[in-house]
Amino acid sequence: MSGLNDHRLPLALRSRSPREAILEDIGPYVGMSPEERGRIVDQLSQLALDLLRANPHRDEVLQWQDPVPESTRAHWRRLMKRAR
């Protein structure tokens, strides 16, 4: 991309800070009411349900739980020990 001015590139290809990237991502949602955000959550939930219904492995998908990393288990043990 050398020789091109950043301002002439599509937004997704421009160099930007992590802060700028986050602000760009959340831009459409800033200022939305809880009701507006709730409608988006409802739509996404319905989409997830539709995808699950179409998946022949849906039961396995619903049963899956990410394994807890040993570092998290060790931290939990330290916290419990301290609480006693």
pLDDT in tens, the chain (84 residues): 444 567 788 877 878 889 988 998 999 999 999 999 999 999 999 999 999 999 999 999 999 999 999 999 999 999 999 999
**Is 24 part of a structural domain of the chain?**
yes
Residue 79 covered by a domain: yes
Q: Is residue 32 part of a domain?
A: yes
In a domain, 21, yes or no: yes
Asked, for residue 1, whether it belongs to a domain, the answer is no
Distances (CA, A) of 54 to 44, 61, 62, 68: 15, 12, 13, 29
Contact present, 13 and 1 (Cβ < 8 Å): yes
- In DSSP notation, 2-24 reads TTS-GGGS-GGGS---HHHHHHH
- The number of folded domains in the chain is 1
Residue ranges making up the domain that contains 21: 6-83
